[in-house]
Structure 1
């Protein structure tokens, strides 16, 4: 269970959307929120260019996060908002900070123009690959109303119920941390949980019900919708994300000769998902 929420802030539209999502999540969880800005080392030729030196970067990294924090406190009363400045590589420092703070990490990413899915940059990819804590990716333009159903007259409204939470379940190697994250997210939102799975040798409905029974007992308020599909898991999980408030997937922590990576299924899901994606690492 995370003890805080941290979000990477660099002033871009995607980090602004991630910051607003992180504030809403912090309020749902009753946790403090920390805005983390990372000052990357500036190459020597750049420091000599007008308006591009380290003084300009430090001015931005000191002033802008404070202004964002002030705005968040006004828009999200009751959320404790702090600011932290770091120096180095954001792809390394953000997941390290999340691990040390036992925090949920929230990252921004550009959306694919005219399409669903994320355009995941190198910083977000590196942070996801190194994260030992759950991390959520939020697209630029994501708004609170996108997480909710239409109201009775067909207008998007934050007063309407939340859209379902979708869990992409690996029924061959299920992991408690992934399932727990999804059930907890659905319970906090008073939303149903759609469990989407696809395997070459799918379990019978009785076996899957048995797998989920302990969770159903622990979260009796969560309505479970089981959706078994044939074919590739990523395809069906991302299709379900079209009508979801949050998509939850697992990422097995692996070390390769070229370093950590997020895996092909998670990579595909990020490229196609239509809602924020929570990536939960596990061994």
Structure 2
């Protein structure tokens, strides 16, 4: 059974940005696209004068309107929409079980502030069974579209042809699924893959460093060798993907954000938590990248 690209849509500009990104991803992967709109009546979320029936009718039209827009924009796209009653977090996590990838939109608070994730996005990223891609929509664009109620502006163009896919590699828990997702994403885009491994030497390992000036270089060489050895099976499996690696000392999130400045996609891993019940958890590095990365970010569960 073919697993579709699934996009959560809610009528917002962020949802429209996610739908457009998901449509392009579905075409790249030669997969169908499924739009999912979750509706849960919340009186506080609507104009007090609005009725439940009015809100329901609005909800029923959301996914259909986006479907029509995408069919006009991408005639070769196989797309359909589903409206499901229930909390968005639960609906999207259920939809992710049958998805190749789940795409959701989030709002930008500006270049310095980065993403505004919200509780739904955070919970879905932390719990979804499929890889989750977060796509950012600009706050100013969103305000303009919401106020006018008109047809949303044309989507931002896809990333430049030479824009790389960036993979954040954790050597302690590399995750086959994470590496595979990154190589596949680079392969379908015919894009280079940049692998970033940030690390900090333990304090005791650099004690007395002045007595051996080559010690730091030795540590770095060993890390680069470990990165290369970890990636070797995927290099052989995807010979057409051009791979460059960075094993750099310092905070991993900072190095990832530097590499992501021109990226088409950033790929990170999330270790599945097996103990239940467990609160949503995405890790501090992923959390930092999600809040500040200008590019779409894929979070891939593994383990």
User: What's the TM-score, normalizing by structure 1?
Assistant: 0.88
Which of 212, 234, 239 is residue 253 of structure 2 equivalent to? 234
Name which one, 1 or 2, has greater alpha-carbon Rg: 2
Aligned equivalents of 2:90, 2:57: Cα separation in 1: 23
2:21 is matched with which residue? 21
Shift of 1:241: 0.7
Which of 130, 148, 157 is residue 145 of structure 1 equivalent to? 157
Give runs of aligned pairs for residues 131-142 of structure 1, distance below 5 A. 131-141=128-138
Deviations 1:173-209 (A, max 9, x none): 2110000000000000000000000123564323322
Given that residues 178 and 267 in structure 2 are in contact (C-alpha distance below 8 angstroms), is that contact kept between their aligned partners in structure 1? Answer: yes
1:192 is matched with which residue? 192
Shift of 1:95: 1.4
Structure 1 residue 216 corresponds to structure 2 residue 235: yes
1:278 is matched with which residue? 298
Structure 1 residue 123 corresponds to structure 2 residue 117: no
1:247 is matched with which residue? 266
Q: Which runs of 5+ in 2 are unaligned?
A: 142-154, 202-219
**Aligned residues: CA RMSD:** 2.2
Aligned equivalents of 1:237, 1:191: Cα separation in 2: 17
2:106 is matched with which residue? 109
1:50 is matched with which residue? 49
Aligned equivalents of 2:2, 2:116: Cα separation in 1: 27
Aligned equivalents of 1:25, 1:48: Cα separation in 2: 36
2:78 is matched with which residue? 80
1:152 is matched with which residue? none
Aligned equivalents of 1:187, 1:39: Cα separation in 2: 36
Shift of 1:34: 1.0
Given that residues 194 and 225 in structure 1 are in contact (C-alpha distance below 8 angstroms), is that contact kept between their aligned partners in structure 2? Answer: yes
Given that residues 6 and 99 in structure 2 are in contact (C-alpha distance below 8 angstroms), is that contact kept between their aligned partners in structure 1? Answer: no
Aligned equivalents of 1:38, 1:121: Cα separation in 2: 16
2:93 is matched with which residue? 95
Given that residues 163 and 264 in structure 2 are in contact (C-alpha distance below 8 angstroms), is that contact kept between their aligned partners in structure 1? Answer: yes
Secondary structure (helix, strand or coil) at the match of 1:194 reads strand
Corresponding residue pairs, total: 268
Aligned equivalents of 2:23, 2:113: Cα separation in 1: 23
Give runs of aligned pairs for residues 151-170 of structure 1, distance below 5 A. 161-170=161-170
Give runs of aligned pairs for residues 168-207 of structure 1, distance below 5 A. 168-201=168-201, 203-207=222-226
Aligned equivalents of 1:55, 1:74: Cα separation in 2: 29
